[in-house]
């Protein structure tokens, strides 16, 4: 379990003080993958560096299994850091060492016996499916294989937390999928708390249990992926499903509203549109609708048009039916999606 509390990071340079992390609070439980998303420059990598204390936070705390890393002296910190495994973008392997040597490096630094060392390396390479490649050098491996070596190395010292910053960026979709599948398996087998930083929303869908959106150093949204998906106010939810409401919005006019409806299909009666029609507006129009399975959740979306003199009745019915409804005016969901995704 990792608890990040009120984390602040400021850099001081010629032009003054820049606050890059502005009071970040996050908890990741064992067996949970938290994806952190956000635009370039939001502070995601800074967060990763502060969590394993490669950089000193300006204030706040980082507790791993109730041990506050920010309070430790450098020797204690070196020991405590073993509970955090880190996976870098493009694996960060040592090019002049073999796969087995790379995976065993953390043990070598600890002075483990040769036998213990060999056994652990063999076990890890077997787990990530690379036993046959033990004596290869990194440049003889594909990008996905290199990343598997990076994962094996991160696990060498049996951490309880994994930290991944853009670990799948630059990999093709299929390879990305195999890495996210591996991470989810490891999450379950080892009860890992995983902090997974990415700017790829497709990857988030495949890997995350919870999602936090970081913007200008603050967490502006945080929740279970299933809740965000059906929350029509959620920019992350909109980005994950990429509902394009532009065409439908042109159906709004002096007498009619256009609403964005989102719902968890398992919790909502399937004839909700008929109910709205009976209770609110017999002329209700269905402009667009979709049901998808996202990360195991069945989520439904619809864009509907209804008479605006019945707006309050519409709100009441939507609430009673357990739907999430957003009147589309001003903020375009699609535009908000682009704010999240557009890097």
Contact set with ligand ATP (CB under 6 A): 11, 13, 18, 20, 38, 40-46, 199
Smaller CB separation from ligand ATP, 47 or 262: 47
The sign of the dihedral angle between the CA atoms of 48, 52, 55, 58 is positive
Residue of the chain from 45, 70, 233, 295 that contacts Mg ion (CB under 5 A): 45
Q: Which does 18 bind (CB under 5 to 8 A by kind): Mg ion, ligand ATP, none?
A: ligand ATP
The neighbour count for residue 166, using CB atoms within 10 Å, is 19
- Tell the smallest beta-carbon distance from residue 9 to ligand ATP (Å): 8
Give which of ligand ATP, Mg ion, none residue 15 binds (C-beta under 5 to 8 Å, depending on kind).
Answer: none
Rounded Cα distance, 343 and 339, in Å: 8
Q: What is the SS3 assignment for 172?
A: coil
Contacts of 113 (CB under 8 A, 6+ apart): none
CB 21, min distance to Mg ion, A:
13
Give the C-alpha separation, 230 to 182, whole Å. 27
Render 258-308 in DSSP notation, one character per residue: EEEEEEETTTS-TTHHHHHHHHT-TT-EEEEEEEEEETTEEEEEEEEEEEG
CB atoms within 10 A of CB 175: 17
Task: Please tell me the count of residues contacting Mg ion according to CB under 5 A.
Answer: 2
> Which of 20/186 has CB closer to ligand ATP?
20
Q: Segment near Mg ion (CB under 5 A), from 41-49, 224-232, 234-242, 314-322?
A: 41-49
Q: Residue 39 or residue 285: which is nearer to Mg ion going by CB?
A: 39
Residue (18 or 283) nearer to ligand ATP, CB: 18
Sites of contact with Mg ion (CB under 5 A) = 44-45
């Amino acid at each position: 379990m990792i608890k990040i509390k009120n984390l602040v990071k400021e850099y001081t340079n010629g032009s003054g003080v820049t606050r890059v992390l502005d009071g970040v609070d996050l908890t990741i439980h064992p067996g949970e993958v938290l994806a952190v998303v956000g635009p370039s420059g939001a502070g995601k990598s800074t967060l990763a560096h502060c969590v394993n204390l490669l950089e000193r936070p300006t204030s706040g705390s980082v507790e791993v299994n109730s041990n506050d890393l920010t309070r430790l002296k450098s020797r204690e910190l070196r020991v405590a850091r073993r509970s955090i495994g880190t996976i870098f973008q493009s694996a960060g392997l040592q090019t002049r060492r073999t796969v087995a040597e790379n995976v065993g490096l953390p043990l070598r630094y600890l002075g483990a016996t040769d036998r213990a060392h060999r056994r652990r390396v063999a076990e890890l390479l077997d787990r990530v499916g690379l036993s046959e490649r033990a004596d290869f050098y990194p440049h003889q491996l594909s990008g996905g294989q290199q990343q598997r070596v990076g994962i094996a190395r991160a696990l060498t010292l049996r951490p309880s937390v994994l930290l991944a910053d853009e670990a799948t960026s630059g990999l093709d979709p299929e390879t990305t999928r195999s890495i996210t599948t591996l991470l989810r398996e490891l999450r379950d087998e080892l009860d890992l708390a995983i902090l997974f930083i990415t700017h790829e929303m497709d990857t988030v869908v495949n890997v995350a249990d919870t999602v936090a959106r970081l913007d200008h150093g603050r967490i502006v949204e945080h929740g279970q992926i299933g809740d965000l998906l059906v929350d029509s106010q959620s920019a992350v939810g909109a980005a994950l499903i990429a509902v394009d409401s532009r065409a439908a919005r042109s159906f709004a006019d002096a007498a009619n509203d256009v609403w964005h409806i989102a719902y968890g299909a398992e919790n909502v009666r399937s004839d909700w549109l008929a109910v709205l029609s009976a209770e609110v507006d017999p002329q209700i129009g269905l402009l667009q609708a979709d049901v998808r399975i996202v990360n195991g959740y069945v989520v439904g979306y619809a864009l509907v048009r209804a008479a605006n003199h019945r707006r309050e009745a519409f709100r009441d019915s939507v609430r009673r039916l357990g739907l999430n409804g957003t009147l589309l005016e001003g903020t375009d969901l699609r535009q908000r999606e682009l704010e999240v995704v557009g890097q």
